[in-house]
């Protein structure tokens, strides 16, 4: 059954926020993905947010997508991360046209009709992230009917609920090619190894996946190129990843801000006889959090709207700096909130300690801080040659 948006996407996400928030604590404790939340997103057409209209999707731009992911993250961030990956994958595939139309049409229509999810599996135990260079150890071998994929991927976000796996691998050809192989998640030879036991974003179930001679058809090698053809940043990819991922962690910080505001307004110490929110020192401290989050929200909106007007509006360097700054400010905001609450903020019965654990994960998403600053420094000093 096709599901279409019946209202403004941002408003649909806002309506789901309380229900999503009610699931967050239990899934954080169990470290199990809140799969039922996906039914709600699908029912409101949010799993096909960036699928082209030709296939029944909403064809949403970056500004809308960013705001939807941010709102969902305020409620349940593990759900938001899977939604973010789905949203970015479909947006970039629709805009690049890199995949053959019949293959992408199958993936797109499945998102609309059944809420089928896709994510890219790129990171490996030895390689780390491909963004830092190097060929993957995962190998695709030619067979008489197609390809066989063998290897191990790590940090496979949402793997128990995915339908499609976009696997980064190299071929065993004499002239090696590298690229994406589309693997249906229910294909024989796939094993999920439950390795994900992290401090934050616990319910994402970002486990390892082992591929043991997993067979796929020839045309499911959807985007293969020589290694050199993958060199160089793609501004559109950088902008979508930076804005959507940053919005997610900004949403977590905003949820922490909302909880803190309520706590300050309702906490009435006996020696004060009034809510903590009336204390000028705490008002000023809360104002510093407001400054971090409100300005970053404006920055994200402005960047996303610029990209919607011109896909190349944000350079790869600028996208990296935006991601670094927004996620760093989100972490800072939650840490400031914790400093104001003391032991109360560390209590498991309150969500603030969970918000802190979750927001810290913003640092690990590509590009990481050192890569961001290195790229920015090299770009800024481009006329200056290194020594030695």
With bands split at pLDDT 50, 70 and 90, how would you rate the model's confidence at 362? Answer: very high
What pLDDT score was predicted for residue 234?
85
What pLDDT score was predicted for residue 383?
79
Mean pLDDT of 270-275: 94
Third-level CATH fold of 121-226: Butyryl-CoA Dehydrogenase, subunit A; domain 2 (2.40.110)
Distances 82 to 152, 318, 354 between C-alpha atoms, Å: 20, 25, 18
What pLDDT score was predicted for residue 131?
65
DSSP 47-112: GGTTS-GGGT-----HHHHHHHHHHHHHH-HHHHHHHHHHHHHHHHHHHH--S-HHHHHHHHHHHH
CB 123 within 8 A of CB 197: no
Three-state DSSP string of 121-156: ECCECCCECHHHCCCCCCEEEECCCEEEEEEEEEEE
CB 127 within 8 A of CB 134: yes
CATH 1.10.540.10 placement within the chain: 9-115
Mean pLDDT of 254-277: 96
Model pLDDT for residues 286-311, shown as the tens digit of each residue? 999 999 999 999 999 999 999 999 99
Question: Alpha-carbon torsion 34, 36, 37, 38, what sign?
Answer: positive
Model pLDDT for residues 213-252, shown as the tens digit of each residue? 999 999 999 999 998 888 767 889 999 999 999 999 999 9
Q: Is the pLDDT of residue 3 over 60?
A: no
Third-level CATH fold of 235-379: Butyryl-CoA Dehydrogenase, subunit A; domain 3 (1.20.140)
Query: Strand 164-171 relative to strand 207-217: parallel, antiparallel, unpaired?
Result: unpaired
What pLDDT score was predicted for residue 110?
98
Third-level CATH fold of 9-115: Butyryl-Coa Dehydrogenase, subunit A; domain 1 (1.10.540)
What pLDDT score was predicted for residue 7?
64
CB 250 within 8 A of CB 296: yes
Q: What is the token pair recorded at 59?
A: 């064809």
Distance, CA of 132 to CA of 128 (rounded, Å): 8
With bands split at pLDDT 50, 70 and 90, how would you rate the model's confidence at 128? Answer: low
CATH 2.40.110.10 placement within the chain: 121-226
234 vs 142: which has the higher pLDDT: 142
Residue 35 Cα to chain centre, angstroms: 16
With bands split at pLDDT 50, 70 and 90, how would you rate the model's confidence at 330? Answer: very high
CB 244 within 8 A of CB 65: yes
Say what the pTM is: 0.94
């Amino acid at each position: 059954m096709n599901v279409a948006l019946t209202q403004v996407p941002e408003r649909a996400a806002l309506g789901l926020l309380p229900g999503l928030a009610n699931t967050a604590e239990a899934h954080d404790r169990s470290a199990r993905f809140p799969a039922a939340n996906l039914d709600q997103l699908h029912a409101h057409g949010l799993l096909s947010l960036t699928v082209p209209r030709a296939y029944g999707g909403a064809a949403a731009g970056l500004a809308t997508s960013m705001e939807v992911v941010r709102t969902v993250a305020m409620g349940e961030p593990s759900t938001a991360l899977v939604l973010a990956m789905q949203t970015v994958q479909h947006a970039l595939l629709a805009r690049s046209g890199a995949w053959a139309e019949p293959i992408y049409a199958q993936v797109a229509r499945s998102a609309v009709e059944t809420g089928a999810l896709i994510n890219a599996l790129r990171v490996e135990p030895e390689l780390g992230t491909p963004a830092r260079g190097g060929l993957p150890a995962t190998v695709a071998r030619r067979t008489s009917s197609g390809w066989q994929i063998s290897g191990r991927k790590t940090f496979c976000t949402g793997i128990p609920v995915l339908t499609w796996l976009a696997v980064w691998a190299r071929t065993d050809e004499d002239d090696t090619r590298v690229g994406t192989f589309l693997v249906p998640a229910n294909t024989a030879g796939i094993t999920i190894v439950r390795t994900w036991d992290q401090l934050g974003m616990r319910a994402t179930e970002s486990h390892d996946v082992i591929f043991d001679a997993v067979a796929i058809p020839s045309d499911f090698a959807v985007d293969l190129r020589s290694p050199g053809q993958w060199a160089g940043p793609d501004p559109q990819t950088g902008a979508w990843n930076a804005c959507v991922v940053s919005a997610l962690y900004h949403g977590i910080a905003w949820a922490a801000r909302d909880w803190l505001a309520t706590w300050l307004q309702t906490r009435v110490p006996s020696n004060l006889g009034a809510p903590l929110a009336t204390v000028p020192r705490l008002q000023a401290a809360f104002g510093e959090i407001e400054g971090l989050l409100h300005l970053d929200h404006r920055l994200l909106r402005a960047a996303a709207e610029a990209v919607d007007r011109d896909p190349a509006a944000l350079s790869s360097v600028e996208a990296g700096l935006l991601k670094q700054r927004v996620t760093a400010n989100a972490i800072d905001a939650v840490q400031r909130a914790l400093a104001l609450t003391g032991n109360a903020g560390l209590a498991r019965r309150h969500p603030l300690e969970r918000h802190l654990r979750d927001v810290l994960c913003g640092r690990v998403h590509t590009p990481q801080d050192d890569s961001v600053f290195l790229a920015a420094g090299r770009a800024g000093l481009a006329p200056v040659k290194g020594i030695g």
